[in-house]
Amino acid sequence: MSLNSAILNRQAVVRGCAARSGEDERVASNDVSGKVALVTGASRGIGKAVALALAEAGVDVAVNYVTQDAAAQETCKRIKSLGRRALAIRADVSQGVEVARLVKTVEESLGPVEILVNNAGITRPQPLHEITEKDWDELLDTNLKSAFLVTQCVLPAMRARHWGRIINLSSVAAQTGGVVGPHYAASKAGIIGLTHSYATLLSKEGITVNAIAPALIYTEMVAVNPKARADLIPVGRFGAVEEVAEIAVMLARNGYITGQTINVNGGWYFS
Ligand code: NDP
């Protein structure tokens, strides 16, 4: 059998399996156009780049933020200029009540969330001996509990439709300790555990769950941390937000990658 006919046979088998299980033909397709995404923390930085890249792929995007209203509106303006629907929604994703309102607003305005990017996060670079219980709680609630809260809220609609993509922002800090502190590293390691659990529990339901672990992507988060130096990165430079965003789009498109952590770190940590 030639290579071409082997590939054609294989595609027919994949399509046949999808048809037999009653799933959408797009199970084996990478077309995300017309889908609805919620990107938390999309007013700036990586979240903004992910929101724009998804819009370029034909996705309508809910832009969550917590303080920077003008920046969130600017992200929406750019999404709309790409011909997609966009909506800015202020909500503190560390608070369950606000998360419930956020997801309800997206569902009523754009439709059920099909692609969730748990991106919102904070760092509090500070000397080790100054980290308090309050700092720990704030950081863990914002960076880790938020991903649980938002995921739990969007899951009923994803499960009903047998299709979903959940993409969680971890960090090289989960793997090496990083340059912020133990609270940040623990929150980002927690994201990987959360990703593994949801991926296992949802793998038969058409819902993939993956993490992206970046390192030193040049955003405000990196700019304010004096310990974040480009010479820490083997490739010798900071990463660009677009280099993370293209991975998010790939994970939104691909139905066969789940439970993985994709490192975008300039070679700082090898998997
Ligand atoms: P930025 O500081 O540039 O942006 C943070 C975003 O999160 C903003 O949109 C902010 O909204 C939002 N946000 C913060 N707290 C909340 C909250 N409680 N509720 C809702 N939104 C909130 O960060 P980055 O773009 O650099 O980082 C994005 C993600 O990537 C984070 O999870 C971060 O930990 C992770 N990451 C980043 C790396 C990097 O090198 N930059 C490396 C590894 C991981 P607002 O503008 O309204 O304040």
- Per-domain boundaries in the chain: 33-264
pLDDT(18) > 90: no
Question: Mean pLDDT, the chain, as a whole number?
Answer: 93
pLDDT(16) > 50: no
CA distance linking residue 147 with residue 52, whole number of Å: 21
* Residue 255 pLDDT level (bands cut at 50, 70, 90): very high
pLDDT score for 26: 47
- Give me the residue label for tokens 């499960």: 159
- Cα 224 to ligand 1 centroid, rounded to whole Å: 12
**Is residue 198 annotated as part of the catalytic site, yes or no?**
no
User: Strand, helix or coil at 110?
Assistant: coil
Q: What percent of the chain has pLDDT over 70?
A: 90
pLDDT score for 28: 53
Tokens of 149: 């809260």
* Cβ contact 29:107 at 8 Å: no
pLDDT score for 118: 99
Write the pLDDT tens digit of every residue in 206-225: 999 999 999 999 999 999 99
Instruction: State phi, psi for 207 to the nearest 5 degrees.
Output: -115, 120
- Superfamily of domain 33-264 in CATH is NAD(P)-binding Rossmann-like Domain (3.40.50.720)
* Cβ contact 244:214 at 8 Å: yes
Q: Which atom of ligand 1 is nearest to the CA of 94?
A: 18
pLDDT(27) > 60: no
Q: Lowest mean pLDDT: which of 24-38, 57-71, 147-161, 253-267?
A: 24-38
pLDDT score for 271: 93
- Write out the DSSP string of 164-233: EEEEEE--THHHH-TTS-HHHHHHHHHHHHHHHHHHHHHGGGTEEEEEEEE--BSSHHHHT-TT--GGGS
Amino acid, res. 41: G
| Candidate of 40, 46, 92, 220 to mutate for ligand 1, largest count of ligand atoms within 8 Å of Cβ | 46
- Cα 1 to ligand 1 centroid, rounded to whole Å: 51
* Cβ contact 236:268 at 8 Å: no
Q: Specify which residues 117 forms β-bridges with.
A: 39, 167
What's the pTM value of the predicted model, to 2 decimals? 0.93
* Residue 29 pLDDT level (bands cut at 50, 70, 90): confident
- Cα 119 to ligand 1 centroid, rounded to whole Å: 6
Hey, whose CA ends up nearest to atom 31 of ligand 1? 121
* Residue 6 pLDDT level (bands cut at 50, 70, 90): low
CA distance linking residue 155 with residue 145, whole number of Å: 15
CA distance linking residue 248 with residue 67, whole number of Å: 24
Cβ contacts of 29 within 8 Å, gap of 6 or more: none
